[in-house]
Structure 1
Amino acid sequence: FYSLEQSSSQNYGGIGAVIAHEISHAFDNNGAQFDKEGNLNKWWLDKDYEAFEEKQKEMIALFDGVETEAGPANGKLIVSENIADQGGITAALTAAKDEKDVDLKAFFSQWAKIWRMKASKEFQQMLLSMDFHAPAKLRANIPPTNLEEFYDTFDVKETDKMYRAPENRLKIW
Structure 2
Amino acid sequence: ITKFRSINYGGIGVVIGHEITHGFDDQGSQFDAEGNAKNWWSEEILKKFLEKAQCIIDQYSGYETEVGNVNGDLTSGENIADNGGVRQSYLAYQNWIKNNNGGQEELRLPGLEELTHEQLFFLGFSNIWCQSITNEGLENQLITDPHSPAQFRVIGSLQNSETFSQAW
Task: Report the TM-score, using the length of structure 1 for normalisation.
Answer: 0.82
* Corresponding residue SS for 2:152: helix
Computed over aligned residues only, the root mean square deviation of the Cα atoms, in angstroms, reads 1.4
* 8 Å CA contact retained: 1:29, 1:56: no
The structure carrying a bigger helix percent of its residues is: 2
* Number of matched pairs: 151
Task: Quote the Cα distance in structure 2 between the aligned partners of 1:149 and 1:82.
Answer: 18
Task: Quote the Cα distance in structure 2 between the aligned partners of 1:5 and 1:41.
Answer: 40
State the match for 2:21 in structure 1. 24
Whichever residue aligns with residue 9 of structure 1, its letter is S
State the match for 1:117 in structure 2. 131
Q: 131, 148, 152: which is aligned to 2:162? A: 148
**Structure 1 residue runs without a partner (length 5+):** 155-173
Query: Deviation at 1:5?
Result: 5.8
State the match for 1:80 in structure 2. 77
User: Larger C-alpha radius of gyration, 1 or 2?
Assistant: 2
State the match for 2:48 in structure 1. 51
State the match for 1:7 in structure 2. 4
Q: Highest relative contact order (Cα 8 Å, sep 6+), 1 or 2?
A: 2
Q: Deviations over 1:49-72 (max 9, x none)?
A: 211111111111110131023310
Matched, 1:97 2:94: yes
Query: Deviation at 1:46?
Result: 1.8
State the match for 2:110 in structure 1. none
Task: Quote the Cα distance in structure 2 between the aligned partners of 1:88 and 1:5.
Answer: 20
CA 1:42–1:120: 2 relative to 1, 3 Å: same
Whichever residue aligns with residue 112 of structure 1, its letter is S
Q: 130, 143, 146: which is aligned to 1:132? A: 146
Whichever residue aligns with residue 88 of structure 2, its letter is A
State the match for 2:58 in structure 1. 61
* 8 Å CA contact retained: 2:68, 2:139: yes
* 8 Å CA contact retained: 2:2, 2:8: no
After alignment, is 85-94 or 45-54 more displaced?
Answer: 45-54
- What's the % identity of the aligned pairs? 38
